[in-house]
Amino acid sequence: MLKKKYNVLDLFCGCGGLSKGFEMAGYNILLGVDFNEPALRTYAYNHHGSKTLCGDLSAPDTFKHIDKLVEGNVIDVIIGGPPCQGFSLTGPRQFDDERNKLYLAMIETVRRYKPKAFLIENVPGMATLYKGEVRDEIIRRFTSMGYSVSNQILCSADYGVPQIRKRLVFVGLLNSKEIFQFPEPYLKPDEYITCEQAIGDLPSLEHTLGSDVSEYEMEPQTEYQKLMRGSCNVLHNHKSIDHKQFVKDTIALVPDGGNYKDLPPGVGESRIFHMAWTRYCSYKPSRTIDTGHRNNFHYKWNRCPTVRECARLQSFPDDFVFLGNKGQQDKQVGNAVPCLMAKAIGVELLKYLK
């Protein structure tokens, strides 16, 4: 018998880390919506069965376009990570402030389609913003629409992602006496996947800058590397920045896991702040992958990690190809929800949908 696939609408989908994880968990992704054109091109390239809409989710017209694109389908789950920059709450009723429109877009879509469940992902700081009032108001709004809402700060490394990335996640279930229980960690801290286990098989690029499409130079060395490669036999997005010689010479002096504090006096002083000249640590998961400043370096090679290395640390499989220029690709990877963390939540949610 064919298993039912639950239909998903992904708002603020970016390149689709969250969608990819839900797809891995067995969902059918109907539509991804975002206003960033390069991210959406990546999304479309990697989610073959899904539609995309390039639209501003703070504009009411966008909802009409979504209506048309999903017409005739039941939307079972709505997922999304609305940005919360500039979030404002100046009084008990100020949630409807203009600046909070992106959160309101999430609420409006859930009101419109009444999915069986929704998921919202955000930075952990959202939990304590305005002494927790924002989080409480989000819970109140969805509760009044008939959802039982749970929220928790999750750490991606607990679910097999080689990265310490913490995210606040809300999950709501419609007309349910149950409250969603987040998945228990799959790994203990001493079992976390390390940087070396994640990217140690990728070419060093010591004598070349690499290219958009290249070849693996060795067999996968770890279970994680095998998992990421799957049946992929070409290497995408493994291209180095052409660093200035002084950058290469300076980072060469920083040991595995070290930073600017390990440099001799007078060296690298053009960058002195807590993140400067940081090398990833080969025997730990990486720190949070960001949208691409040039202060984090490979644990072994004298260069920044490539887009593919960052994608590995975000648990994107190797056949997930990033489009756009280098800056756009960095942003797509750094903004994403790690696929394996999204998958873990998606798998858990299936138990409630059934």
Ligand X SMILES: C[S@@+](CC[C@H](N)C(=O)[O-])C[C@H]1O[C@@H](n2cnc3c(N)ncnc32)[C@H](O)[C@@H]1O
Q: Residues in the site for ligand X, rule: CB under 6 A?
A: 12-18, 34-36, 39, 56-58, 81, 83, 102, 335-337
Kindly state the DSSP code that residue 126 receives in the 8-state scheme. Answer: G
What is the Cα 71 distance to its own chain's centre?
28
What is the H or E stretch that residue 223 is in?
A: helix 223-229
Question: Out of 84, 155, 195, 310, which one is annotated catalytic?
Answer: 84
Tell me the backbone φ, ψ of residue 291, rounded to 5 degrees: -90, 20
- CB of 81 vs ligand X, minimal distance in Å: 4
- CB of 223 vs ligand X, minimal distance in Å: 24
- CB of 71 vs ligand X, minimal distance in Å: 21
What is the H or E stretch that residue 118 is in?
A: strand 117-122
- Which is closer to ligand X, CB of 58 or CB of 295? 58
Q: Considering just the CA atoms, what is the radius of gyration of the chain in Å?
A: 21
Tell me the backbone φ, ψ of residue 167, rounded to 5 degrees: -140, 140
- Which is closer to ligand X, CB of 247 or CB of 339? 339
All residues at 6 or more sequence positions from 172 whose CB lies less than 8 Å from its CB, including other chains = 110, 117, 118, 119, 142, 147, 148, 149, 150, 180
- Which is closer to ligand X, CB of 34 or CB of 330? 34
Question: Helix 37-46 crosses helix 326-335 at what angle (to 10 degrees)?
Answer: 70
Does 84 qualify as catalytic in the annotation?
A: yes
Closest CA to 296 of 284, 283, 286: 286
All residues at 6 or more sequence positions from 122 whose CB lies less than 8 Å from its CB, including other chains = 81, 82, 84, 167, 168, 169, 170
Q: What residues does 80 pair with on adjacent strands? A: 11, 120
Does residue 232 sit in helix, strand or coil?
coil
- Which is closer to ligand X, CB of 258 or CB of 334? 334
| Token output for 127 | 């939990």
- CB of 12 vs ligand X, minimal distance in Å: 3
- Which is closer to ligand X, CB of 6 or CB of 277? 6
- CB of 62 vs ligand X, minimal distance in Å: 7
- CB of 339 vs ligand X, minimal distance in Å: 8
- Which is closer to ligand X, CB of 167 or CB of 279? 167
Which residues are catalytically annotated? 84
